[in-house]
C-alpha cells in the first residue's frame, strides 16, 4: 500500500505538469481526490488494518492527500495568473496611438452666403420669412402682376406640379404671402430654394437659391431702396465698392432696376471677373407695383414699398471665385472643406 501511495503522488504530479486548462485541473482533482479515487479507497480501507499499521499508513495517506491538494492549489493559482495575463494582453490599449479622427462637417458655401446676406439685413432690422418650395401659380405669377402670357409661365421654363401649383421659380411669392398676412410696416427678407427648367451648365442649374426682400411703409422712396442696397453691397463685398442702378423691367415693380457693383477684383479697371466692364450685375429691384400691394389690400395712397431679389449662387461664385455653379451641388468634400 505504501508503494501504491507513492505511485498516486507521482501520477498526480505528472498529470498536473501536463494540465493546461482549468477543466483539466478539475478533472485531475476529481480523479485523484474524489469519492471514487484510489486514495479515498485506501483511506476507507484503513479500518481493516492493525492499529500500528493503520497509524503509519494513515499518516502517509494524509500526507499524500495534503501534497496533492497543495500541488492542485499551486497549479490553480498559476493558471489563474496566466489567464489574467492573457486577458490583459487582449484588452491592452495603446494610449500613445493617435486615435481615430472624427469626420467633422463644414457649412456649405451656399449656407454661409445666405447667412452673411441675412446678417446684413437683420442688422438693418429685417426679419426672416420663409415660404414653401411648392407654390400656387397665383402666388408665383398672378399676385406678382405677371401678365397671363408672360414667357416665364411656360411649361418649358417652369416645373408644374399640377395646373395650379408649381415649384416656385423665384422667392418673390413670399412677397405676396407676407402682404396677404401682415400689415405695414413690413420689413422682411426671404432666403430659399427656387427651380427652373434650365439645362445645367457653368452658370445654370435647375435648382438654385435666392434671397428676396420687401419693405413697405409710409413715405418709402427709391432713395431708400438705393441707400439700403448700396449699404448691403459695401457690407457683402468691400467697403469701397460703388453701386449703379440701371433701368430694367420686372412685372412686380415699377420702376424696376438692376444693381451693379464696381468690380471688387480689379477696382473697376476691367478684368476676367467683370468681363472687362468694371461692373458686375448683382440683383434686381424696384418700387413695389401698386397692383401687388393691392393683393394684400394695402392702401396704395398711404403706403409705398421697395423690393429686391438676388441669386445666392451668383454672389457666392463672385465672392469665392467659383467658376462653375455645378460645383456647389456635387458634394465633393475637397470643395466643401475649403470653406471651413
**DSSP-based three-state secondary structure for 85:** helix
Where does this chain touch ligand DAH (CB under 6 A) — which range of 48-56, 67-75, 279-287, 289-297?
279-287
Beta-strand ranges (E) seen in 149-231 are: 165-167, 186-195, 207-218
Angle at 318 between CA 312 and CA 322, to 5 degrees: 95
CB 193 to ligand DAH: min, Å: 13
Q: Are 250 and 284 in contact (CB under 8 A)?
A: yes
- Interface with ligand DAH includes 65 (CB under 6 A)? no
Instruction: For residue 121, give the H/E element and its range.
Output: helix 109-123
Confirm if 63 and 7 have CB atoms less than 8 A apart: no
Does 187 help bind ligand DAH (rule: CB under 6 A)?
A: no
Minimum distance from residue 201 beta carbon to ligand DAH (Å): 18
Residue written as grid cell 409705398: 304
Q: Any contact of residue 184 with ligand DAH (CB under 6 A)?
A: no
Dihedral angle computed from the Cα positions of residues 115, 141, 226 and 259, in that order, rounded to the nearest 10 degrees: 80
How far is it, in rounded angstroms, from Cα 193 to Cα 189?
A: 14
Residues found in the chain:
340
Task: Give 61 or 225: the residue with its C-beta nearer to ligand DAH.
Answer: 225
Q: Which three cell numbers stand for residue 182?
A: 401682415
Q: Which is nearer to ligand DAH, 79 or 207 (CB)?
A: 207
Minimum Å distance from CB 289 to ligand DAH? 9
From 6-14, 15-23, 41-49, 283-291, span contacting ligand DAH (CB under 6 A): 283-291
Question: CB 325 → ligand DAH: shortest distance, Å?
Answer: 15
141 is a site residue for ligand DAH (CB under 6 A): no
Question: Binding segment for ligand DAH among 102-110, 158-166, 197-205, 278-286 (CB under 6 A)?
Answer: 278-286
Minimum distance, C-beta of residue 250 to ligand DAH, in the bound complex (Å): 4
Size of the site for ligand DAH (CB under 6 A): 11
The Cα-based distances of 273 to 19, 267, 335 in angstroms read: 83, 11, 20
Residue 144's Cβ-count burial label (10 Å; 0-12, 13-18, 19+) is: buried
Site for ligand DAH in 237-266 (CB under 6 A): 250, 253
Which listed residue (37, 136, 172, 205) binds ligand DAH by CB under 6 A? 172
Count of beta carbons in the 10 Å neighbourhood of residue 209? 23
Q: Does 284 bind ligand DAH (CB under 6 A)?
A: yes
Among 184, 296, 305, 309, binds ligand DAH (CB under 6 A): 309
**Backbone dihedral angles phi then psi of residue 124, each to the nearest 5 degrees:** -100, 10
Min. distance of Cβ 125 from ligand DAH in angstroms?
Answer: 18
Q: How far is the CB of 258 from ligand DAH (least distance, A)?
A: 8
CB of 209 to ligand DAH, least distance (A): 11
Say whether residue 308 binds ligand DAH (CB under 6 A): yes
- Select 29 or 209, whichever has its Cβ closest to ligand DAH: 209
CB 211 within 8 A of CB 283: no
Cα–Cα dist 187/179, whole Å: 10
Instruction: At 135, list the grid cell.
Output: 407654390
DSSP state of 199: P
Quick one: which of 286, 293, 298, 312 contacts ligand DAH (CB under 6 A)?
A: 286
Is the Cβ of residue 172 or residue 304 nearer to ligand DAH in the bound state? 172
Q: Residue with C-alpha cell 451648365?
A: 201
Q: Which stretch binds ligand DAH (CB under 6 A): 23-31, 126-134, 239-247, 282-290?
A: 282-290
Contact predicate 230/257, CB 8 Å: no
Sites of contact with ligand DAH (CB under 6 A): 170, 172, 212, 250, 253, 284-286, 307-309
Amino acid at each position: 500500500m505504501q508503494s501504491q501511495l507513492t505511485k498516486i503522488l507521482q501520477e498526480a504530479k505528472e498529470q498536473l505538469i501536463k494540465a493546461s486548462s482549468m477543466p483539466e485541473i478539475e478533472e485531475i482533482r476529481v480523479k485523484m481526490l474524489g469519492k471514487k479515487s484510489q486514495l479515498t479507497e485506501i483511506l476507507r480501507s484503513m479500518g481493516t488494518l492493525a492499529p500500528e499499521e493503520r497509524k503509519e499508513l494513515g499518516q502517509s495517506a494524509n500526507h499524500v492527500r495534503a501534497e496533492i491538494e497543495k500541488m492542485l492549489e499551486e497549479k490553480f493559482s498559476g493558471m489563474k495568473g496566466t489567464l489574467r495575463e492573457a486577458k490583459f494582453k487582449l484588452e491592452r490599449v495603446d494610449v500613445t496611438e493617435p486615435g481615430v479622427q472624427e469626420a467633422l462637417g463644414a457649412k456649405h458655401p451656399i449656407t454661409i452666403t445666405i447667412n452673411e446676406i441675412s446678417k446684413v439685413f437683420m442688422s438693418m432690422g429685417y426679419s426672416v420669412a420663409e415660404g414653401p418650395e411648392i407654390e400656387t401659380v397665383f402666388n408665383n405669377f398672378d399676385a406678382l402682376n405677371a401678365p397671363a402670357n408672360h414667357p416665364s409661365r411656360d411649361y418649358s421654363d417652369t416645373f408644374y406640379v399640377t395646373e395650379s401649383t408649381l415649384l416656385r421659380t423665384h422667392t418673390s411669392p413670399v412677397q405676396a404671402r407676407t402682404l396677404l398676412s401682415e400689415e405695414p410696416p413690413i420689413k422682411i427678407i426671404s432666403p430659399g430654394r427656387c427651380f427652373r427648367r434650365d439645362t445645367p451648365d457653368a452658370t445654370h442649374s435647375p435648382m438654385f437659391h435666392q434671397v428676396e426682400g420687401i419693405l413697405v411703409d409710409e413715405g418709402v422712396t427709391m432713395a431708400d431702396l438705393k441707400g439700403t442696397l448700396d449699404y448691403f453691397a459695401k457690407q457683402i463685398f468691400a467697403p469701397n465698392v460703388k453701386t449703379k442702378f440701371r433701368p430694367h423691367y420686372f412685372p412686380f415693380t415699377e420702376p424696376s432696376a438692376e444693381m451693379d457693383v464696381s468690380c471688387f477684383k480689379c477696382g473697376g479697371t476691367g478684368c476676367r471677373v467683370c468681363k472687362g466692364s468694371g461692373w458686375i450685375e448683382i440683383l434686381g429691384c424696384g418700387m413695389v407695383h401698386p397692383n401687388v400691394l393691392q393683393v394684400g389690400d394695402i392702401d396704395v395712397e398711404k403706403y409705398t414699398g421697395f423690393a429686391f431679389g438676388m441669386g445666392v449662387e451668383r454672389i457666392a461664385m463672385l465672392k469665392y471665385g467659383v467658376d462653375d455653379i455645378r460645383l456647389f451641388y456635387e458634394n465633393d468634400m475637397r470643395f466643401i472643406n475649403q470653406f471651413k
